[in-house]
Amino acid sequence: MPTDAEQPRPRVLPPTIRDVARAAGVSVGTASKALNDRGRLRPETRERVRAEAERLEFRPNDLIKSLLRGRTFTVGLITTDYFGRFNMPVIAGIEDALGSAEILVFLCNVRDDAERERKVISALLAKKVDGIIVMGRSVDPRPPINVGQSGPPVVYAFSRVPDPAALCLLPDDAQGARLATEHLLRSGHRHLAHITGPTDREAVASRWTGMSAVLLEHRIELPSSRVLYGAWTEGWGYEAVGQLLEQEETIDAILCGSDIIARGVLDGLRERGRAIPNDVAVVGFDNWEIIATQTRPPLTTVDMNLHDLGCVAAERLLAMVEGAQDSGIVHLPCSLVVRESCGSR
């Protein structure tokens, strides 16, 4: 048992199993049997030991159990940026799945600092975590982490590494954009535009791939002048819709690369007197509810189901801890949340 010998704080020493045994008037061996539900004991003895353990607030020590079992029932969660709105739901999903398996999560934010990442991994390995989940800032490739030959299994969630042996879970951006585009076409729109993020991001490319595939299937043209790349900001959405409407009078629907961009697009449309969705329908991407439910009108948008992605990451990690082999890039489906900015008509 740990002792408080090094802790000058004057607090009550935690009771040991000896204290419980003494209080119940039994041997330490009997107390241990009673508390661990082993051996043959009279029910009243077992009951008396448990009552004394409860009264004394005796807490079994997981550290000893971990040493004996070779598992700590802990998992390390490494995030590579500040906890943004994308990480939050993934973390909640991981926690939900691990919590129901009674596993605790070490949260470690390494902030794109390679030295900090190295230290954190070393600390997690020293704590003998059963597995590690690595989350990225985005779906763009990052280097794999190095846990050594005998390290625990690793899963990359909302993050991709260029290592075929790694398991990487990503939202299916192309499928999400397909859903959104099909919804726009089903709602009767034919003159589409796309206002999106930076050209060098994988999510931007994947979303455009999904959108253009649907347009091709329906033989609908979308000239490159109607695909506008820029920053992931509201300001860019507002500016881009101005540029777009100057050149393209006939636009009747805009798929935006994010809800933040859509927010600027909606403001720009309204200030130019365009009714939404009757003149121009708008669809976002993210279903960031604090934005999407508060725009005027509320925003139809793609949900990446990041909570589910977190759950799946945790479940597949646990399977690997139990011995399963798993690898590859797995895309998990997005869904569409329909609100007033593009309903059905």
CB of 205 to a copy of itself, least distance (A): 24
Query: If binding is defined by CB under 8 A, does position 135 make contact with a copy of itself?
Result: no
Place of tokens 């003149």: 279
For 105-138, the three-class secondary structure string (H helix, E strand, C coil) is EEEEECCCCHHHHHHHHHHHHHCCCCEEEEECCC
- Element housing 5 (H / E): none
Query: If binding is defined by CB under 8 A, does position 82 make contact with a copy of itself?
Result: yes
Query: If binding is defined by CB under 8 A, does position 290 make contact with a copy of itself?
Result: yes
How many chain residues are in contact with a copy of itself, going by CB under 8 A?
73
Q: Are 254 and 281 in contact (CB under 8 A)?
A: yes
- What is residue 219's three-state secondary structure? coil
- What is residue 71's three-state secondary structure? coil
Q: What is the distance between the alpha carbons of residues 202 and 137, in angstroms, rounded to a whole number?
A: 12
CB of 174 to a copy of itself, least distance (A): 26
- Please choose, from the candidates 153, 205, 332, the residue with its C-alpha nearest in 3D space to the C-alpha of residue 144: 153
User: Phi and psi dihedrals of 332, rounded to 5?
Assistant: -100, 145
- Please say which residue, 104 or 216, places its beta carbon nearer to a copy of itself: 104
Separate counts of helices (H) and strands (E) for the chain = 12, 12
- Please say which residue, 51 or 324, places its beta carbon nearer to a copy of itself: 324
Select the span of 23-31, 59-67, 211-219, 275-283 touching a copy of itself (CB under 8 A): 59-67
- Please say which residue, 9 or 42, places its beta carbon nearer to a copy of itself: 9
CB of 215 to a copy of itself, least distance (A): 30
- Please choose, from the candidates 277, 232, 280, the residue with its C-alpha nearest in 3D space to the C-alpha of residue 253: 280
Strands of the sheet with 227-229, listed across from one edge: 227-229, 192-196, 253-256, 281-285, 300-303, 335-337
- Please say which residue, 34 or 179, places its beta carbon nearer to a copy of itself: 34
- Element housing 13 (H / E): none
- Per-residue binding string, a copy of itself, 172-211, x by CB under 8 A, is ----------------------------------------
**Residues 6+ away with beta carbon under 8 Å from 138:** 201, 202, 203
Among 134, 145, 240, 260, binds a copy of itself (CB under 8 A): 260
- Please say which residue, 14 or 141, places its beta carbon nearer to a copy of itself: 14
CB of 123 to a copy of itself, least distance (A): 6
Q: What is the distance between the alpha carbons of residues 244 and 236, in angstroms, rounded to a whole number?
A: 12
- Please say which residue, 75 or 174, places its beta carbon nearer to a copy of itself: 75
Strand partners, 155: 133, 167
- Please say which residue, 146 or 209, places its beta carbon nearer to a copy of itself: 146
Select the span of 24-32, 113-121, 202-210, 239-247 touching a copy of itself (CB under 8 A): 113-121
Q: What is the distance between the alpha carbons of residues 126 and 162, in angstroms, rounded to a whole number?
A: 26
Among 324, 327, 343, 345, binds a copy of itself (CB under 8 A): 324
- Please choose, from the candidates 219, 231, 226, 194, the residue with its C-alpha nearest in 3D space to the C-alpha of residue 209: 194
Select the span of 22-30, 92-100, 167-175, 220-228 touching a copy of itself (CB under 8 A): 92-100
Task: Scan residues 229-258 and list those touching a copy of itself (CB under 8 A).
Answer: 233-235
- Please say which residue, 98 or 192, places its beta carbon nearer to a copy of itself: 98
Among 18, 39, 51, 64, binds a copy of itself (CB under 8 A): 64
Among 132, 241, 283, 320, binds a copy of itself (CB under 8 A): 320
Q: Around 3, how many Cα atoms within 13 Å sit in the side-chain half-sphere?
A: 2
Among 74, 181, 206, 300, binds a copy of itself (CB under 8 A): 74
